[in-house]
Chain A
């Protein structure tokens, strides 16, 4: 069983281009990725390079402050997050390099704005309801 304390609340999801950004690579783009639910992130972040894999083009730019840098500039993309049970959320994600290779996405408070997150640390359980 995964240790929730060390790994964090990680969910399997699929990323796809947002509505209107249809892509011939959409099928490949819907391969599962792992997303870490991150209450410290104002918005969702996707791993650098993932947008190209998804066939996405930027719809804007954003500046972010992180623990180690200030005013870092990155692209913004319209993406669909396909969560378990085919629950689909559309959001505007930033693209930035992430340190953990197996986590391709940080699910930020833009996602949590539509959800209920229950974290039961002593039971090594969490649930995300949308």
Chain B
């Protein structure tokens, strides 16, 4: 007898992609935090200041991403208006 298709046999971590199709943009947040933590752990002279500095940097990365997204959205809308 043939085994059930992978999709029907339930989610298996690492063997199947995480079912987060509708929330993919939220996955940018842990990535921003990770980048900020490693960068500040390398740059800061005192490790005690890393949590505060990393939190500030992660917030700025998120603000930059949101700003870039908003800018690109406006650009696309502007091209749509110009084309219509």
A and B part of one assembly: no
Q: Which residues of B contact A (CB under 8 A)?
A: none
Q: Which residues of A contact B (CB under 8 A)?
A: none
